Amino acid sequence: MIPMYSRSYLNLMREIAVTRFKLKDQSTFFGLLWSFLNPVLMLTILFTIFSFRAGQGIDHYAIYLLIGVVQYTHFSNTTAGGMSILCSMEKLTSDVIFPKEVLVIGTVIADTVEFVISLIFCLGIAIAFGIQLSWPVLLLPVVILMQLMFVLWVSMFLSIFYIYVRDLRHIYQVFLRMLFFATPIFYRPEYVGDGIGKYIIQMNPLTHLIQFARTLLIEGRWPSWEMLLLTFAANTALLFLGIAIFRRYEPTFAEYL
């Protein structure tokens, strides 16, 4: 097994990420422009539907909505792709000896590059809408890193389970639809009120990541350092746990592919 952080491991991970990124929209007419078009189209639909009700009392609602759409889309698309990457590259996974987690990591990194491009687009739109960016926005790379770690450990666990249970793809699509409404994308978390809905939103990691980005970009203030450190620590621990479990079950992958 190639040790993590060795030169050969990092080179392999980089090559997979670069290849996945180049191939991602290669066969489409607009190519990389979909990094901008997807969130804009989703924003247009959601803004038209929800701006008159859910958007009342929310400053810069279009940017508020766009940030939520971009972060949710990155999570949903990347985890769905990471879940099936080992099976979609079945021959490589079965016949070639290398640390299989780099396939998942490379896929997630490639999608995260597109996510960063979309966030830069968000910054440009925010400035165009008259939002004055301030020093707290410099903390945005930390939020991006936490989102990367979150998406990565979720993809690790999903890719393991998917090898043994192929129905997971359909189950996960249903889960993502429910998660969309359980994440404060087009509404404020406070709108939910008390009860189980409030508990679900508070336990949703995407809620905190999206709110961190909104606090930095729209409100121009520092987020709760306690919550920021807790989120970072939890994602770091779960990421290393995901890699450890992945390596534990990796020897059995070939017989199920």
Written as one letter, the residue type at 84 is S
Question: Worst-scoring range by mean pLDDT, 88-92, 105-109, 110-114, 218-222?
Answer: 88-92
Separation CA 109–CA 16 (nearest Å):
9
Q: What percent of the chain has pLDDT over 70?
A: 88
150-200 pLDDT per residue, tens: 999 999 999 999 999 999 999 999 999 999 999 999 888 888 877 788 889
Token code pair at residue 11: 């080179």
Separation CA 41–CA 26 (nearest Å):
20
* pLDDT tier for residue 17 given thresholds of 50, 70 and 90: confident
26-37 pLDDT per residue, tens: 555 555 666 667
Determine the pLDDT at residue 3.
Answer: 57
Evaluate if residue 106 carries a pLDDT over 70. Answer: yes
Separation CA 126–CA 64 (nearest Å):
9
Question: Worst-scoring range by mean pLDDT, 80-94, 127-141, 236-250?
Answer: 80-94
Consecutive H or E run containing 77: helix 61-88
Determine the pLDDT at residue 1.
Answer: 54
Determine the pLDDT at residue 29.
Answer: 56
Separation CA 169–CA 165 (nearest Å):
9
Separation CA 51–CA 48 (nearest Å):
6
- Residues 239-256 have a mean pLDDT of 90
Consecutive H or E run containing 78: helix 61-88
Name the nearest CA neighbour of 118 among 70, 77, 75, 68: 70
Per the CB < 8 A criterion, the answer to whether 217 and 137 are in contact is yes
DSSP state of 226: H
Higher per-residue confidence, 203 vs 190: 203
